[in-house]
Structure 1
């Protein structure tokens, strides 16, 4: 039994060394495909979830014209709520804002008797991609000051652009996964053709199908496991870089990266995919 296991593993290792370039191409393509398809998908969910929870960075502050009456304040709030992309609209009365400012910065407000602040709103966004449109729509409201809309537009556009890039790269990973499968298929196919004489001899001396074909399946498995493990490493590095950026720009920490779980999932996914592609090559060989 041990001799058979040693033979099967040895044959798989010989095949890997014999087809070095194809093996390298298959492994790296599997790694990149899994990284783009699964790894960046994982990052997209985390970054998107984190930015949705950072309301203070993506709030729009709206300042009304001096002397705006309460009726106009109420109507303006209702108009803002109807804008696509606008979420919660909170009214900030000028008296409360002035009292808070005097408490927080008494030196600046010292000696100022009349309240110079206007009534204002704090508007949260339900969709980062609609921030510019929401701000422009609010500017058109008659009770709003000409320059009375303030928000972190540059940061909003940067975060939204990163999310769109991650989404696009994840879609490209699906195509690369197909290419990786073709490479694994061709690698196993070439190994079968190169060893067809040996396979025929083994069949003549009574070797069973599992004894003949398992080395090829192991070869595909190794391709997938190594590629998946490399993809997990790439995801860890990318997650670390994104985590630093998010904390620096948004003062928000991403969830703790589950290193062992990601490694196991990616290695298992690569193994299943590698064995699947190898099995297709073997099945087509049997039909030939």
Structure 2
């Protein structure tokens, strides 16, 4: 009986306040879309960093079948050249600047490439022979990169010496700024959503003052009286959160995985499977936001 009454009151409230309910849905949708976008940006930064950013500071690329400079005119790096480079890495002149190093074969480079660029359209067209083998080096002091560059750049068998962190530092800096902006806008929109939900529930309760008085007289409990109002906000916010989840999925599927991946084939982008981690967070945030806002509003404006 109580459940039937609560559902009846809920349906009545949704019909009477349809315009305000739609407003709550829209503002929740917009605010949580910004929250989801901020989450996507952070996931994308992590994807870009990946294996080579966090673990490697300097990469010595070795010559392969496609010569890129005068060091590679004689062809791909030979075993003797590779051993010579290993000896230089372990030499007394260079070793103090190196924390650790590892050799990556062409087959291993292909495996890492396929892992990093799983969402790129070019992943199936690249073979191991297209990628150079390399020495991945972590320096004790990143500022000493120039010493490694001067030592190895002219060494036979070496194609190039690249400081990966220097190359990506500005990109990640701008992406972090974009994330902070998205978080700030998301926080502002979330506050707006909370205020709108609270106002909607307050007006809904005030429009049914007479019904609430009757429920008090017949002995209805505080929970039975307040629950329909809380559920109104929760349902509207949940719909908004689901729409925001759909918007986040669309951003990943069509913008990041479609347009950006096609225009930047050399850049790894997160997939829709990665984005699935965000959807439950958005829905839960929407429910909590509506529940807390509604409860606070009723406590201040509906004396039971």
TM range (shorter): 0.5 to 0.7
Q: CA–CA distance in 2 between the matches of 1:246 and 1:51?
A: 17
Find runs of 4+ consecutive structure 1 residues off by over 6 angstroms. Answer: 145-148, 258-261
Distance 1:214 1:121, change over 3 A: closer
User: Gapped runs of 5+ residues in structure 1?
Assistant: 82-87, 93-103, 106-119, 127-132
- Choose which of 162, 169, 181 in structure 2 pairs with 1:150: 162
What is the match of residue 274 of structure 1? 290
Q: Once the 2 structures are TM-superposed, how far is the Cα of residue 222 of structure 1 from its aligned partner?
A: 1.6
Distance 1:60 1:54, change over 3 A: closer
- Choose which of 225, 236, 259 in structure 2 pairs with 1:212: 225
Distance 1:62 1:265, change over 3 A: closer
Select between 183-192 and 205-214 the one with higher mean Cα deviation: 205-214
Deviations 1:150-169 (A, max 9, x none): 35655563355335423542
The answer to whether structure 1 residue 239 and structure 2 residue 252 are counterparts is yes
User: TM-score scaled by structure 2?
Assistant: 0.59
Q: Once the 2 structures are TM-superposed, how far is the Cα of residue 284 of structure 1 from its aligned partner?
A: 1.0
Do the aligned residues in 1 keep the contact of 2:41 with 2:175 (CA within 8 Å)? no
Q: Once the 2 structures are TM-superposed, how far is the Cα of residue 203 of structure 1 from its aligned partner?
A: 3.3
- 1:150-229 alignment, distance < 5 Å: 150-151=162-163, 157-159=170-172, 161-170=174-183, 172-204=185-217, 207-229=220-242
- Choose which of 30, 39, 42 in structure 2 pairs with 1:41: 39
Q: CA–CA distance in 2 between the matches of 1:229 and 1:123?
A: 45
User: Gapped runs of 5+ residues in structure 2?
Assistant: 63-70, 72-84, 105-128, 155-159
Aligned residues: 244
CA RMSD of aligned residues (A): 4.6
Q: CA–CA distance in 2 between the matches of 1:91 and 1:267?
A: 45
Q: Once the 2 structures are TM-superposed, how far is the Cα of residue 257 of structure 1 from its aligned partner?
A: 1.5
Q: Once the 2 structures are TM-superposed, how far is the Cα of residue 39 of structure 1 from its aligned partner?
A: 5.4
The answer to whether structure 1 residue 53 and structure 2 residue 51 are counterparts is yes
Q: CA–CA distance in 1 between the matches of 2:275 and 2:102?
A: 41
SS in 1 for 2:273: coil
Deviations 1:181-231 (A, max 9, x none): 122111111222333344334434655544432321121112221121012
Select between 161-170 and 219-228 the one with higher mean Cα deviation: 161-170
Q: Once the 2 structures are TM-superposed, how far is the Cα of residue 287 of structure 1 from its aligned partner?
A: 5.0
What is the match of residue 68 of structure 2? none
What is the match of residue 23 of structure 1? 21
Distance 1:286 1:3, change over 3 A: closer
Rg (Cα) greater in structure:
1
User: TM-score scaled by structure 1?
Assistant: 0.62
